[in-house]
Structure 1
Amino acid sequence: MAESLPLPKRTRREASPEETAVDHDDLCHICHMLLHRPVLTTCRHTFCEPCMAHWADVSITTQMTTLGLDVDEPLLLPPNEIETKCPMCRTLTVAKLDADREAALRSKYTSSYDSRQKEYEEAARDETGAFVEPLTLFLGNEHRLIRTDELGSKNNHEWVFFVRPSRTDIIEEVQIFLHPTFRNPKIVVQHPPYHIRRVGWGVFSIDANVILKAGYSWVSSEAEDTADGGIKGKLPLEWMLDFRGRGSQGRLRLKVRKEKDNQEEEDQRQGERSHRLWLQQRQRDPDYIPPPSPPPDTSNRR
């Protein structure tokens, strides 16, 4: 059996009568308490989601993982997309939320499950009282070769650089910095999808800043303050364009800090201006190349 891990802000307390009657199969093998937000691994073991996330955090690094474009996995939060060794059998595994098991546990252990939920919310808060949440970010480029024009231009590479976060509601904008030879080397994208499409002749390194909305900050030593004074609100990123085949992408597992619980409500009130900002972005981007239109549907034509 796996050893218990010291989970953040977990305090010991007296077990309630309901908890003392918890079936052995309904206990997490990491914290040895009632399963909370149970996740099922590909090797068929079940753990609490926060326990599995903490286990993965201490078991693997958080460096960027390079992936092919064919890896089009759902943008789920940790530990769902984290591949790590199972605490029980030590095989590489991926865990996913087990909604049916959670519903059964809620019904079977009503008061105990509610108590575990409160503990989870408290443990998720950092030492400043803010709420820390995970965020997955994909960074990369698509690529295809195109024919040169009649003047013999070397610009025969069409590419799309993209930043795809698992949450877009907390992103203020993405700043993209191209090679200075481009007519408009700095692009500010304020509405998802956060990408640009260009045509060129060679690879180069693209810098990008992912700016969080007010009330959020990156939990990263590489984060910087924003120009308007937002503490740790800017995350600098770098990507070397990949013209080998269809391109590639990298995946980063990150964390953001939220100042207060009702931050999303304030964000929603500000979201009405997002479409207008998106239109302004298109007007400020003279090099923007829209994606090709799909062919007309002739399936119903005679």
Structure 2
Amino acid sequence: MNRKLRSEPSKGGETSTGDASTKEENIDHDDLCPICHLLLYTPVRTRCNHTMCESCMAQWADISIASQMTTVGLDDQATVFLPHEVETRCPMCRTVTNSVLDPDRERALQRRYPSSYQTRKAETDADNEDDFGSTIETLTVYVGNEHTEIRATEGSNNKHQWRFFVRPSRIDLIEEIQVFLHPTFRNPIVVLDRPPYAITRLGWGFFTIYANVILKAGYSWVSSDAEDTRDGAPKGKLPLEWTLDFSGRGSQGRLRLKVKKEKEGQEIEDQAQREHIQRLWER
């Protein structure tokens, strides 16, 4: 199956029938990106042998990576990964994979569709200009608990001493972490505004702890799980949950996450909007 693409006419509104830059190019279906359904541009290939635009794969990874928590040992340390080394699920077959550039395929596309490829380049450059001033930063977040079994006092079943923690690799991006314990605890809501982001308690049974990781002003989570904060910061809150582990020393989960820094000047506008929303809340 082929798809016809006609390039734009010249500025004078005329087309020359012999000019290769203005003729229709029939795009083979196999040369279309399965995500954006346009001609592949800067193609990347996954380990599961699927090909798509580099930008499409990056956007897919941005929104899907946060939902994949990996259970690791308590001694696991944060590692800085290059973009192509970060694993995510393939958008086509959902296999855990990463991707590499395919320069041979790119050269073949440039030769076969010279006009259409130039059009795709112009579109991508325009999109990049729209995003000028904003940057994507990567961080690792560990969430889990340490555990020690102690001798319970007479008349008490509280023999599990645990320490719940959230350990971000970039503490300079974190405004605060809100922790929600079981309602049977005294002061079940705890706000941690400086590291270490951890609380220690003594109890008899395990339960699920919920936490919100709040970014500083000017940053937002690149995740479909992110939510707006109460004061109106878009995607400034990332909800997490962790079920306490009382086996052995405890355990932790690891999340590879991405954060977007707002464009220059956008933060001032957003702050004014947040202040307006805060005033509405206080009425």
Q: 2:187 aligns with which of 184, 188, 206?
A: 184
The reply on whether 1:234 has 2:237 as its aligned counterpart is yes
The aligned residue for residue 21 of structure 2 is none
Structure 1 position 63 matched with structure 2 position 63: no
Structure of larger gyration radius: 2
Long gaps (5+) in structure 1: 9-27, 32-49, 86-91, 96-121, 264-302
| C-alpha deviation, 1:124, in angstroms | 7.8
Q: 1:208 aligns with which of 199, 211, 234?
A: 211
Q: Which residue of the other structure, out of 130, 141, 149, is the alignment partner of 1:145? A: 149
Secondary structure of 1:224's match? coil
Q: Deviations over 1:197-228 (max 9, x none)?
A: 11111001101000000001111222111122
Task: Confirm or deny that 1:135 pairs with 2:139.
Answer: yes
One-letter identity of the residue aligned with 1:163: V
2:258 corresponds to which residue?
255
8 Å contact kept, 1:124–1:131: no
Is this contact kept in 1: 2:74–2:252, CA < 8 A?
Answer: no
Distance 1:65 1:221, change over 3 A: closer
Deviation for aligned residue 1:170? 0.8
Runs of 4+ in 1 over 3 A off after TM superposition: 28-31, 53-58, 60-63, 77-85, 92-95, 122-129, 260-263
Output aligned runs, 1:165-176, within 5 Å: 165-176=168-179
Measure how far apart 1:70 and its partner are: 4.2
**CA shift in 2, pair 1:232/1:54, >3 Å:** closer
Q: AA paired with 2:259?
A: V
Rounded to whole Å, the distance in 1 between the matches of 2:80 and 2:224 is 23
| 2:65 and 2:88 in contact (8 A); partners too | no
- Sort the Cα spacing of 1:93 and 1:71 in 2 relative to 1 into closer, same or farther, 3 A: farther
Q: Which runs of 5+ in 2 are unaligned?
A: 1-30, 37-41, 46-53, 91-95, 100-125, 267-283
* Secondary structure of residue in 1 paired with 2:198: strand
User: Structure 1 residues 74 and 220 mapped into 2: Cα distance closer, same or farther (>3 Å)?
Assistant: closer
Contact 1:69 1:249 in 2 (8 A): yes
The equivalences for 1:25-104 within 5 A come to 54=58, 57=61, 62-77=66-81, 78-79=83-84, 82=87
- Indicate if the aligned counterparts of 1:205 and 1:238 stay in contact, CA closer than 8 A: yes
Secondary structure in 1 matching 2:176: strand
TM score, norm. by length of structure 1: 0.53
Secondary structure at the residue paired with 1:169? Answer: helix
Deviations 1:28-68 (A, max 9, x none): 9959xxxxxxxxxxxxxxxxxx99x949939x965333323
The CA distance in 2 between the partners of 1:124 and 1:244, in whole Å, is 49
Q: Deviations over 1:280-300 (max 9, x none)?
A: xxxxxxxxxxxxxxxxxxxxx
Aligned length in residues: 208
Which amino acid counterpart does residue 180 of structure 1 have in structure 2? P
Secondary structure of the residue aligned to 2:240 is strand
The alignment-based identity, stated in percent, is 53
Aligned counterparts of 2:97 and 2:251: Cα–Cα separation in 1? 23
**Paired residues of 1:142 and 1:159 also in contact (CA < 8 A):** yes
Q: Alpha-carbon deviation of 1:174? A: 0.2
Letter of the 2:245 counterpart: D
Q: Is the 2:133–2:264 Cα contact (8 Å) retained in structure 1?
A: no
Change (3 A) 1:94 1:257: closer
The CA RMSD measured in Å over matched residues stands at 4.7
